[in-house]
Each structure stands twice: as C-alpha cells, then as structure tokens.
Amino acid sequence: MLAIGTAPDPAFARLRESAEPLSSLGVFLDKYVGECNQTIGAGCKTQSAQFRARNQGKSFLLTLSDDAVSMVSLGRFEASKREFEIRITPFFGGGGYALTHGAPRSADSQGNPLVPMLIARARLGEGSSPERFQRLFSSHQLRIEVVFQPRSVWTLSGKKGARSQGVAAQLQGIQVVESRSGESLATWLAR
C-alpha cells in the first residue's frame, strides 16, 4: 500500500534499480518464445534456447502506457480508510504473445487465457480526492512499471484450433504511476 503524494515504495525502487530496462516487450517475447517455422531457418530454435538461457534468473523492467493501462482498474473505495483497491490483470501483450504472472491453465469462452488478478491498495493523502483519483484511471493518465523474471514459455489451445503463446514470468513488483507527474499511485509486491 502506498499513500498518494508520498515517495515511491523503497522495495519497488530497489527492484527497479536492479532490473534491466526493456525497450520493446514484443521483441523480447518474440526472441524468448522462438516460434520457428521453416521460412525462418534451422537456427531459430537454437537461438531462442540460447536467449532463454542467457536471460534465466535476470530481472527486467517493463514500462507500459496507452493500451496496457486497461490492465488496471479501480476496485472498491473504503471511505473510512480513504483507500482504493487497484485491480491488476497480469497479462501484458506484445508482438502476438503475452507476458503473464505464471502460466495460464485455461481460457474463457472466447479463447482468451485466464490469469488470476492481483490486488494493490492506494491510500489517498490529505490533498487528494477520490474524484481526482478516479479521473486518472478513467482518462488513462497512467503508466505501469513491471519488474519480472522470465521463467518459461507457455502454450494454450483454445476452441476451434485457436492457440495462444507467451512467457510465464515471476512478477516481482508492479507500480502504477501518474503519467504526467511521475507520482506513484499504487505498488504491488510479490510476497
């Protein structure tokens, strides 16, 4: 939990400092998954295996905005504590693949992989109003910072032959930030 208007969570700051920033999630996922076909060439699977081995145990920092902010939403507001629940869907797409917290085991009726939701809490400071906080979410004035370690490739077959692939990761921390000011709004840390 983080009070609005306070400094970022020091534990998340340490995670962030120790992680290697990614410039493109799509490129990273493409190299890690290594979905190879005959037109790409015989060395593709070897290159992907080497890329996975080189990055095993490494932490990466992923910064997302725009469409990715649809992966966070406001939950209930507890007025007595001046606290919002922040719901995070740990499914971050890029390049036709997804980075997920663990591997999804099933899909919904549309064939979309199902992942468990993560919950962060944000306590409003004295100068913040619930309405201002809600506006930040409804107008998508957010940035998401994700620190993760890749673990493995997952494949999920859906109805009518549909297939999804991605990278199962151990998410170490997620920070929701106001995009204009850089103010930290909420932090989720793996326990």
| pLDDT above 80 (res 153) | yes
- Mean pLDDT, the chain, integer: 86
| Token pair recorded at residue 19 | 């992680």
- What global pTM score does this model have? 0.88
Is residue 40 over pLDDT 90?
no
**The CA-based dihedral angle spanning residues 144, 150, 152, 153, taken in that order and rounded to the nearest 10 degrees:** 50
Of 27, 89, 103, give the one whose Cα is nearest residue 60.
27
- Residue 70 vs residue 147, higher pLDDT: 147
> How many domains in the chain?
1
Per-residue pLDDT at 3: 43
Query: Containing domain of residue 104, as a range?
Result: 2-35+42-189
Indicate the range of 84-98, 103-117, 168-182 predicted with least confidence: 103-117
